[in-house]
Every structure is written in structure tokens, then in C-alpha cells.
């Protein structure tokens, strides 16, 4: 990773509390702001991006409610609008005038909303393994669940209906889902396991719902598919062949963003930076270098 590289840590006030950040490395390239997923799955699992810190500074933060940041117990905080305001507060506090944005999963959703709604110094956008429509994602997840074996499907449906998602049978079924559609590298690396241990359940349950199969939270109707043509930044769209964020949906996103670049990772699910690190790094380095002087 970034052993021996310059690291700076601190906290930033954002709407609702204080968040933790880390700046790693440096170099001639413009900084890369890394936006993690979840919502509520802290930065640890995307720490692979530190590999890029020999060419540029890479900046992480744990979003409010998870990881090393404050975890206020106020469900009214967990909205897309407040999350966009948080991201803007981070950008402003760190003095980022010209920078690249990378967002994975929920982080990709937040990054899309940010570049659509906030005027900033962002010079490029990378949308990694994400979506542009919750209603479409719900349909994708239902289809992918139907492709699991009957016993796994049954366990998910029965325990979610009964409210017994703490049961070992349900947890085994979710493990099957995660190892099929989230990360296929087994065993899961330390940084991914650590992120799950530090995750913020309240944020996910409030914004999404009890699971990906029942999205009833504050962002249940979120959909920016028709706004994607408004994105004028150079954009890289990264998809995984086995991703719960289906590659055909990400291809549609790519087609709506003028001039965007699409890269499909044939051996990845949701996390190509872990599952196909060599190719991921090549693609990212090439894209970021191309747009350092925009």
C-alpha cells in the first residue's frame, strides 16, 4: 500500500457532526478524492486506491455515521441532500481546487449527484460499480436473486418476511450473495472485513432499508438516469461482469454521458480494485493521467 508515504489525518465539521479524513502520498498528478460506498461502509475497503498515491495525493474520508467519523443517532440526517452537502464541506475544508473524483457503489451515486448539483473544481469523474436508478436496481437485484439456488432464495425471503435476519441461515444466504455479487476473491481481504466491522447500520437501514432486496428508505425513488447527459466532466465508468450493479445498467449510464469511457472487468463483481488489481490500476492511472491537465 502506501507504507512510507506521507499521511495526514484530521477531522472536518460537516452538517450533522465531524468526519475523519486521511490524505496519502503525493506527486505531480492532481489529487484523487475517493468516495466510499454503503451507505455506511467506511473507507477501509477502498484503501487499494493508495496504490495510486505514488503519482498523486489520494484522499479518503469516512462519511458521517461510520468508521472513524462521528456516529450521531439522528435518522433525520440520512438523506442524499445532506450527503451531498457533506461531500461539499469536505472538498471546501481540504481546499480542493482541481481534483479527480472516484466513487464506488453508493459512493458512485453520491459522486453523480455531487457533480450534477454542485459547482466545484472537479476535473474528472470515475463511477465504479454503481447505479443511476434505485427503481432499476431493485429490478436487477430481484432478477439476480432468482438466479441463486432455491434454498438460498428461500432463506432470504423467509427470514426477511419473519424479521429473523439475525439467524445463521439468513447470514449464510447473504454470504452466498456477497461472495457471488460483491467480492469473488476468497477469503475476503482484511480491509474488506474491517470495513464491514466498522460499518454504520443505521445509515444503510434509513437510506436503503433492511437489505438490498427491500429498498424502502429515504433514497428508494432516487433516479438520475435522465440527468446523466448533464455530466460534462470526462467520465470513466467501471463495471464488473458479476456485479449486483449489472454491467448492462452501467453500459446504459455510459451511453448517456457524452464522451465517457466504459471498462468491463470480466473477473470482477463489485470491487475490481480488489478482484482485478493489476488491470484496475492500469485503467485508473491511464484515465487520471489523461485528465490531469484538463
* Catalytically active residues, by annotation: 105, 243, 270
Burial class (CB in 10 A: 0-12, 13-18, 19+), 245: buried
Q: What does the DSSP assignment read for 107-144?
A: HHHHHHHHHHH----EEEEEEES--SBHHHHHHHHHHH
CA-nearest of 25, 36, 7, 202 to 108 is 36
Q: How far is it, in rounded angstroms, from Cα 162 to Cα 26?
A: 51
Q: What does the DSSP assignment read for 3-51?
A: TTS-EEEEEEEETTEEEEEEEEE--SEEEEEEE--TTT--GGGGGGGGG
Q: How far is it, in rounded angstroms, from Cα 254 to Cα 260?
A: 6
Q: Which residues have a Cβ under 8 Å from the Cβ of 250 and sit 6 or more positions away?
A: 127, 129, 130, 131, 237, 238, 239, 243, 262
Q: How far is it, in rounded angstroms, from Cα 109 to Cα 254?
A: 14
Q: Is the peptide bond before 99 cis (omega within 30 degrees of 0)?
A: no
Q: How far is it, in rounded angstroms, from Cα 84 to Cα 90?
A: 10
- Does the CA dihedral 183-186-190-195 come out positive or negative? positive
Amino acid at each position: 500500500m502506501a507504507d512510507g508515504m506521507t499521511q495526514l489525518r484530521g477531522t472536518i465539521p460537516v452538517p450533522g457532526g465531524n468526519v475523519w479524513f486521511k490524505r496519502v502520498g503525493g506527486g505531480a498528478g492532481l489529487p484523487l478524492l475517493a468516495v466510499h460506498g454503503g451507505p455506511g461502509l467506511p473507507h477501509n475497503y477502498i484503501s487499494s486506491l493508495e496504490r495510486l498515491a505514488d503519482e498523486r495525493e489520494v484522499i479518503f474520508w469516512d462519511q458521517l455515521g461510520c468508521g472513524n467519523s462521528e456516529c450521531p443517532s439522528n435518522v433525520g440526517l440520512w438523506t442524499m441532500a445532506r450527503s451531498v452537502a457533506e461531500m461539499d464541506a469536505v472538498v471546501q475544508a481540504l481546499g480542493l481546487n482541481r481534483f479527480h473524483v472516484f466513487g464506488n457503489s453508493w459512493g458512485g451515486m453520491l459522486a453523480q449527484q455531487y457533480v450534477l448539483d454542485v459547482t466545484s473544481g472537479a476535473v474528472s469523474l470515475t463511477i465504479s460499480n454503481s447505479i443511476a436508478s434505485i427503481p432499476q436496481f431493485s429490478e436487477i437485484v430481484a432478477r439476480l436473486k432468482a438466479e441463486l439456488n432455491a434454498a438460498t432464495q428461500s432463506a432470504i425471503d423467509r427470514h426477511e418476511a419473519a424479521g429473523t435476519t439475525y439467524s445463521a441461515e439468513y447470514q449464510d444466504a447473504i454470504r452466498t450473495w456477497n461472495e457471488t455479487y460483491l467480492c469473488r476473491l476468497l477469503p475476503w481481504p482484511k480491509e474488506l472485513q474491517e470495513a464491514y466491522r466498522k460499518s454504520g447500520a443505521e445509515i444503510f437501514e434509513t437510506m436503503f432499508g433492511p437489505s438490498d432486496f427491500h429498498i424502502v428508505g429515504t433514497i428508494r425513488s432516487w433516479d438520475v438516469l435522465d440527468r446523466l447527459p448533464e455530466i460534462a466532466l470526462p467520465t470513466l465508468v467501471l463495471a464488473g461482469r458479476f456485479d449486483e450493479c449489472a454491467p448492462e445498467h452501467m453500459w446504459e449510464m455510459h451511453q448517456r454521458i457524452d464522451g465517457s469511457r466504459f471498462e468491463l472487468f470480466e473477473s470482477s463483481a463489485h470491487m475490481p480494485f480488489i478482484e482485478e488489481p493489476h488491470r484496475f490500476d492500469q485503467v485508473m492511472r491511464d484515465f487520471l493521467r489523461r485528465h490531469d491537465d484538463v
